[in-house]
Amino acid sequence: MNVDADRRSPPCALVIFGASGDLTARKLLPALERLSGYGALPPEVALVGVARTPMTDAEFGDLCRRNVPGPVEPRWKELAATARYVHGGYDDPATYQRLAEVMAECDHRHGTAGNRVYYLATPPRLFGPIAISLGKAGLSTPAGDGFVRAVVEKPFGWDEASARGLYAELSSAFSEEQIFRIDHYLAKETVQNLLALRFANSIFEPIWNRTWVDNVQITVAETLGVGERGGFYETTGAMRDIVQNHVLQVLSLFLMEPPTSFHAEAIRDEKVKLLRAIQPLDDEAEIAANAVRGQYTRGGTRDDLMRGYRDEPGVDPLSATETFVAMRLEVQNWRWTGVPVYVRTGKRLPARVTEVAMEFRRPPQLPLFPGTAERLDPDALIVRVQPDEGLSLRFGAKVPGHAFRVQKASMDFSYESFEEQSPDAYERVILDALIGDPTLFIRADEVGRSWRIVDPVMQCWAADDRPIPLYQAATWGPPEATAMIARDGRSWRHSS
Ligand code: BG6
């Protein structure tokens, strides 16, 4: 893959905090290696690692080379060979003094021109302290026309109040324009294609409203369990891990009003407006009727028996943490009032699928096909985010033959029809942060509004001492989720 000339990083020192950690090894270094292969990281880009693990520059360079699969790109070899490493505590002023010296050396040797991108690949509790220390050391202020940016990953806080606390800590050193909050779902090719689908075509927008749409369903289903992340997941759960960020971000892009331009602020303004139009489920009765949680138990087949969540390493044997969430939301604005939006996510479901589906209203009358409408699934437009990235339009078609029978047919578009390969989400976000394009990053007001939607439900569940509904691994969640949508006379897609 080649990158466009304007998709090349400007001169910059890319500083990774948490350089010896898991995220760096699994996601960041392989993404950087691929970017270096596309020519996106010119010689004026230098790599600096910061972490508590003692390591020399050469050992860090070696770690960079070791963590990429396959033959290593020549430019990556060069970046790794010149990589610098700062070892020290994240709250120790000496670490930042040393970092300042190393970055000044990079300016001198590589021409990084005083520009810095700090990627905080550390546990979230360190985001605030690192930002404050960078600020105190005078390392968060750009020099002249240059730039200094801080990249942080979700979770952005634990609830609305702690998100506000984190915001205060980050903004003690960085302005909002300098903060790049990652939601890697936004960098997925098909999620971005939502914008092309809606706004680069004229055929979809006229039907994108309550006149034509009966309901919207967003599914983020995973077959994996929590694996080795039990300790983290115990205090997180599916609502914080997936709904508060990935689901609400995809939802807002799918349902927002057309932005006045493709400028980052115009798009983010529309997303936050949409989030504001979602009425939080506030009282207990409303939450009971419109939100379902669940936890997986042992299940699967004799050959592939999967352990229950409470038996996973690092999980409390009496845990009430949810590994499944289903909710019925309403967007109260001119376009969507009266169209339910069903969202569903879970670990250990029968299929790995992330999709957004729009089901259309039934035809008002089907005199030619008595009984057909009830038997057919509704017409639907389905955006498959992963796997098999693509788009399907499902509709009724006549079955060949003498009888007039109607059956579901579909028109499919697959991303495989493009010769170009989709970049990995991390390649996209790292390069955008280096270039300074904030479109795919989340603004502080979006974070706050998303917490406002999920907080009341989580508080209600935390206060509920009834046992959490259970579902067997490799099934589509607890029966309560099916009952919730069935009350509206509808059913989940992929539910059998
Ligand atoms: C992460 C969650 O944000 O997204 C994980 O913390 C989840 O629990 C992952 O598995 C899913 O991402 P993807 O890109 O594999 O769909």
Ligand 1 geometric centre to CA of 108 (Å):
39
Tokens at residue 11, please?
């001169």
Ligand 1: which atom is nearest the Cα of residue 220? 16
Q: Which pLDDT score, from 0 to 100, does residue 4 have?
A: 65
**What is the rounded distance in angstroms from the CA atom of residue 150 to the CA atom of residue 119?**
6
| Exposure class string for 258-281: b at 16+ Cβ within 10 A, else e | ebeeeebeebbbbbbebbbbbeeb
Q: Is 153 in the pocket of ligand 1 (CB under 6 A)?
A: no
Residue pair 3/39 in contact by the 8 Å Cβ criterion = yes
**Residue among 26, 27, 152, 184 to mutate when testing ligand 1 (max atoms within 8 A of CB):** 184
49 and 84 assigned to the same domain: yes
Ligand 1: which atom is nearest the Cα of residue 352? 16
**What is the rounded distance in angstroms from the CA atom of residue 64 to the CA atom of residue 310?**
36
61 and 84 assigned to the same domain: yes
- The residue whose C-alpha atom lies closest to atom 4 belonging to ligand 1 is 242
pLDDT in tens, the chain (496 residues): 555 666 899 999 999 999 999 899 999 999 999 999 989 999 999 999 999 999 999 999 999 998 888 777 889 999 999 999 999 999 999 999 999 999 999 999 999 999 999 999 999 999 999 999 999 999 999 988 999 999 999 889 999 999 999 999 999 999 999 999 999 898 888 888 888 899 999 999 999 999 999 999 999 999 999 988 898 899 999 999 999 999 999 999 999 999 999 899 999 999 999 999 999 998 999 999 999 999 999 998 888 899 999 999 999 999 999 999 999 999 999 999 999 999 999 999 999 999 999 999 988 766 566 666 566 789 999 999 988 889 999 998 888 998 878 888 999 999 888 888 778 889 999 999 999 999 999 999 999 999 999 999 999 999 999 999 999 999 999 999 999 999 999 999 865 4
335 and 371 assigned to the same domain: yes
Alpha helices per DSSP H over 227-307? 230-234, 237-238, 248-255, 264-277, 284-290
Q: Is 241 in the pocket of ligand 1 (CB under 6 A)?
A: yes
| Residue 246 annotated to the active site | yes
| Pairing of β 116-120 and β 148-153 | parallel
Q: Is 424 in the pocket of ligand 1 (CB under 6 A)?
A: no
Domain boundary among 148, 182, 216: 182
391 phi and psi angles, rounded to 5 deg: -140, 140
Tokens at residue 466, please?
């009834």
201 and 174 assigned to the same domain: no
Q: Which pLDDT score, from 0 to 100, does residue 435 have?
A: 96
395 and 347 assigned to the same domain: yes
How far is C-alpha 123 from the geometric centre of its chain's CA atoms?
17
The enclosing domain of 386 has a CATH number of: 3.30.360.10
- The residue whose C-alpha atom lies closest to atom 5 belonging to ligand 1 is 241
Tokens at residue 124, please?
């979230």
- The residue whose C-alpha atom lies closest to atom 13 belonging to ligand 1 is 185
Residue 166 lies in a domain: yes
Number of domains in the chain: 2
Domain boundary among 155, 182, 209: 182
Ligand 1: which atom is nearest the Cα of residue 154? 3
In angstroms, the Cα distances linking 141 to 172, 173, 323 are 11, 8, 41
Query: What DSSP character marks residue 43?
Result: T
**What is the rounded distance in angstroms from the CA atom of residue 65 to the CA atom of residue 83?**
11
Q: Look at residue 368 and give its three-state secondary structure.
A: coil
Domain boundary among 164, 182, 200: 182
Residue 438 lies in a domain: no
Cα–Cα nearest to 378, from 355, 360, 401, 352: 360
19 and 124 assigned to the same domain: yes
Q: Is 389 in the pocket of ligand 1 (CB under 6 A)?
A: no
228 phi and psi angles, rounded to 5 deg: -85, 0
- Angle among Cα 375, 473, 318 to the nearest 5 degrees reads 130
Residue 64 lies in a domain: yes
Ligand 1 geometric centre to CA of 377 (Å):
30
Residue 331 lies in a domain: yes
Ligand 1 geometric centre to CA of 56 (Å):
32
Ligand 1: which atom is nearest the Cα of residue 185? 14
260 and 303 assigned to the same domain: yes
280 and 172 assigned to the same domain: no
The enclosing domain of 127 has a CATH number of: 3.40.50.720
**Residue among 185, 220, 250 to mutate when testing ligand 1 (max atoms within 8 A of CB):** 185
Q: Is 322 in the pocket of ligand 1 (CB under 6 A)?
A: no
Ligand 1: which atom is nearest the Cα of residue 233? 8
Ligand 1: which atom is nearest the Cα of residue 222? 10
Q: Which pLDDT score, from 0 to 100, does residue 496 have?
A: 45
152 and 269 assigned to the same domain: no
77 and 201 assigned to the same domain: no
Residue 493 lies in a domain: no
Residue 31, domain extent: 5-182
Residue whose structure tokens are 């229950």: 308
Residue 427 lies in a domain: no
Q: Which of 246, 263, 402, 494 is catalytic?
A: 246
171 and 190 assigned to the same domain: no
- 338 sits in the region (left: phi over 0; alpha: psi -120 to 50; else beta) called left
Q: Look at residue 141 and give its three-state secondary structure.
A: coil
pTM of the model: 0.93
Residue 170 lies in a domain: yes
Ligand 1 geometric centre to CA of 220 (Å):
9
Ligand 1 geometric centre to CA of 183 (Å):
10
- The residue whose C-alpha atom lies closest to atom 15 belonging to ligand 1 is 222
Residue 294 lies in a domain: yes
242 and 172 assigned to the same domain: no
